[in-house]
Structure 1
Amino acid sequence: MATGKIIKALSGFYYVLHEGEIYQCRGRGNFRKKKVSPLVGDMVEFKADNREEGYILSIEERKNEFVRPPIANVDQALIVTSATRPDFNALLLDRFLVLVEAKRIEPIIVISKMDRLDEDQVKEMQHYETMYGEIGYPVILSAVNDPEAMDLIQSHLADRTTVIAGQSGVGKSSLLNSIDSRLSIDTDEISESLGRGKHTTRHVELYEISNGLVADTPGFSSLEFADLELEQLPECFPEFVAVQDGCKFRGCLHHKEPKCAVKMEVEAGNISSQRYHHYLQFLEEIQNRKPRY
C-alpha cells in the first residue's frame, strides 16, 4: 500500500502520482456506495502490482473541494482576468474572489493582455492593481510573452497546488503554455461574433510546473454562491474583516445596521465603494436564493 496524489481523472481511471511515478488506478466499488467520488487533488492510499493496474483504497480528508470544476486540496487560485477582449469586469473578478475566499484559498490576480491597451486603459488597470494590492492581494499585470510577469507568476507556484480560474477567452491556457513551454495545452482564438473564448480545456489535470502542481481546468462552470451562507459573505472581503470589530453589532452584515464601521470606511474613501456595491449585490443574491430541498 502506498500514498499518492490524484493528478488526473479520465474515463473512470485515476492517475496517482507517487514518488515521481504515475500509477493508473480504478476506484473501489465501496466509494459508490458511500457516494464519495475521488477528485483530482485528493491524497489517497492505493495498491498497485504495476503502473497500469492499481486500486484506490481510501481518500484522506480534504481541506477544501470544488464541484465545478471537480478538484480538491487547492492552496491558491490564479485568477486570470483580461484587460480587454473580453473587457475587464471588476464585478466578475470580485465574484471569483468571494468563491475562492469562501474555500480559504489564497487568490493571486493576473490581469492579462496589457499589451493591447492605450494609455488611458493602462492607467485604469494600474488603478485596479493599486486597489486590490492595498487589500492584500498579489496583482500581476501581464502581456503576451512577458518574461517579468511569467517569473513573478512562477515564483508563487513552488510547493503549492494552484488552480487557474477565469472566464473563457482571458488566456488561461496561453498563460500556462508561456510559463512552461513543455506543455501543449490546447488554446483557441476568441470567437469574434461572441466576443468570448471557446472552452478548450476538457478535463481537470494537475501539471508539474515550477516545483508545484498547477491545475488547468474546464473553468468554473458555476459562479453561483450556492453553498455560501449570508453570514459568511462579509468574511470573504478582507478589508471588511480588518475593521469589523468597530461595528456596533456583532455579526453585522454591513448593510442596514447603524454604526457600521465598514460603511463608515466606505464613506471615508478607505474601502472601495465599487467593491462595497458588489458586496451588496452578492448579499441580495444570497438573500433571494431559492431554498434547496
Structure 2
Amino acid sequence: MQGTVYKSTGSWYTVKAENGEFFECRIKGKFRIKGIKSTNPIAVGDIVEFELEADGEEGNGVITKIVERKNYIVRKSVNLSKQVHIIAANVDQAFLLVTLNNPITYTAFIDRFLVTAEAYDITAILLFNKIDSYNGEELEEVNYLMKMYEDIGYEVLAISAKNGENIEAVKDLMKDKTSMFSGNSGVGKSTLVNALDGLEIKTAEISEQHMQGQHTTTFAEMYDLSFGGKIIDTPGIRGFGVVDMEKEELGDYFPEFFKLKSACKFNNCLHLDEPKCAVKEALEEGKLSWSRYKNYVQMLEEDVDENYRTDIYKN
C-alpha cells in the first residue's frame, strides 16, 4: 500500500493511505537516504509504501520504502551537531509570516528564507500578519517592506489572522497544494491555521518578558483542508539559513541581482569591490534595496554552515 505521512512522533508515523484510511505505522531496520545523517529518516509529507502487520493490532503497519522526495526541509539537530532533523518533505509552497513587532521579523531572516526557497525552486509567499495592531507609522513601514518585496517579484499579503483580514486570499493561494507555514515563534502561525479552516491547533501568547513566542508545536503535522489542499504545521523557528551553496551562487538567488549579472564586467562578480559591477551601480542609482544588499553581503561574509544552518530547504 502507498500513503502520505501526516504525523511523526519519532517512533510511530500516522500514514493516510490512498483510499483515505489512516494507519499507525513503524519502521523496521534503518533507512539510508542519499547519505543524510538524520535523527528521523521519515518526515511529514513523505510518500511511503507500507504493509499491514498480519499478527499485529488492526490499523497498524510497517513502512518498507520511502518514495523519492522532490524536496525536504531540515533543522540541525541540537544535541547531535553533525546530524539533522527532517521537518517536512514534498512541500509545494512555503509561507513566511512576518511581524513588525511582538516579535520582530528582521529582514535578514526574511532574505535567508527567500534565498533558500529560490535555491531549491520553491514558491515563497510573504504574509505580513497582525496588520490590525499597527499604528499609522508602523503601517507605513509595513507598506514599504511589502512594496520592496513585491517589486522584486514576490507574492505579498497583509493579513490579520486574528480578525480574518485577507484570509480568503490566503485560502485561494493554498487550494490543492501542500503548504508550509514558517516564521519566528509568536508570529501567529497557529492562529492563522485555525482561522483558515477551523483547525484546533494549540496556540500560545507572546512572552512579555522576552517578546518571543512559546514553542507550542513539538512535531510537524499535516492537515487536510476543507477547501482543498494540505497544510503542514511546523515548530516555531528562530533562525533560517542556507547550506551547500558556493559564494559565487548566492547572488543568483537574489532575483533582482541575477537580472543584472550579465551586465557586470566579470561573469563571476560577487558584487563587492569589482569594477563595473552592474549591481553596485544600480544600488548607487537607487534602483535596488540597500537592505537586501546589506543582508547579501552579511551572508557572504559569515560562516553560513556553522552560524545559519538552522532550518533549510534541501533537494
TM-score, with length taken from structure 1: 0.90
Match of 2:250 among 219, 233, 256: 233
- CA–CA distance in 2 between the matches of 1:185 and 1:82? 20
- CA–CA distance in 2 between the matches of 1:289 and 1:87? 23
CA contact (8 A) 1:3 1:46 kept: yes
Task: Find out whether 1:65 has 2:72 as its counterpart.
Answer: yes
Task: Find out whether 1:207 has 2:223 as its counterpart.
Answer: yes
Query: 1 or 2, which has the higher helix percentage?
Result: 1
Residue type at the aligned position of 2:23: Y
- Displacement of 1:199: 0.5
- CA–CA distance in 2 between the matches of 1:102 and 1:147? 32
CA contact (8 A) 1:5 1:43 kept: yes
- Displacement of 1:51: 6.0
- CA–CA distance in 2 between the matches of 1:243 and 1:76? 26
In structure 1, the residue matched to 2:111 is 94
Alignment of 1:189-200 (within 5 A): 189-200=205-216
Match of 1:116 among 118, 133, 139: 133
Determine helix, strand or coil for the equivalent of 1:70.
strand
Match of 2:51 among 38, 47, 52: 47
CA contact (8 A) 1:229 1:286 kept: no
Describe the superposition over 1:52-81 as per-residue Cα deviations: whole angstroms up to 9, x where unpaired: 221211112112112225211111111001
Identity %: 40
> Size of the alignment, in residue pairs?
289
- CA–CA distance in 2 between the matches of 1:51 and 1:18? 15
- Displacement of 1:234: 1.3
Describe the superposition over 1:208-264 as per-residue Cα deviations: whole angstroms up to 9, x where unpaired: 123111111113365243433323311221111222121222232212222222222
Residue type at the aligned position of 2:200: S
In structure 2, the residue matched to 1:22 is 22
Determine helix, strand or coil for the equivalent of 2:206.
coil
Runs of 4+ deviating beyond 6 Å: 32-36
In structure 2, the residue matched to 1:167 is 184
- Displacement of 1:289: 5.4
Residue type at the aligned position of 1:177: N
Describe the superposition over 1:151-177 as per-residue Cα deviations: whole angstroms up to 9, x where unpaired: 111111122211111001111111111
In structure 1, the residue matched to 2:78 is none
In structure 1, the residue matched to 2:124 is 107
- CA–CA distance in 2 between the matches of 1:233 and 1:265? 18
**Residues 1:95 and 1:65: Cα distance change in structure 2 (over 3 Å):** same
In structure 2, the residue matched to 1:188 is 204
Gaps of 5+ in 1: none
Task: Find out whether 1:56 has 2:63 as its counterpart.
Answer: yes
**Residues 1:232 and 1:4: Cα distance change in structure 2 (over 3 Å):** farther
Task: Considering Cα pairs closer than 8 Å and 6+ residues apart, tell me whether 1 or 2 has the greater RCO.
Answer: 2
- CA–CA distance in 2 between the matches of 1:25 and 1:116? 44
Determine helix, strand or coil for the equivalent of 1:276.
helix
Gaps of 5+ in 2: 76-85, 310-315
RMSD: 2.3
Residue type at the aligned position of 2:17: H
TM-score, with length taken from structure 2: 0.84
- CA–CA distance in 2 between the matches of 1:112 and 1:147? 10
In structure 1, the residue matched to 2:82 is none
Alignment of 1:106-145 (within 5 A): 106-145=123-162
Match of 2:92 among 75, 83, 91: 75
Determine helix, strand or coil for the equivalent of 2:270.
coil
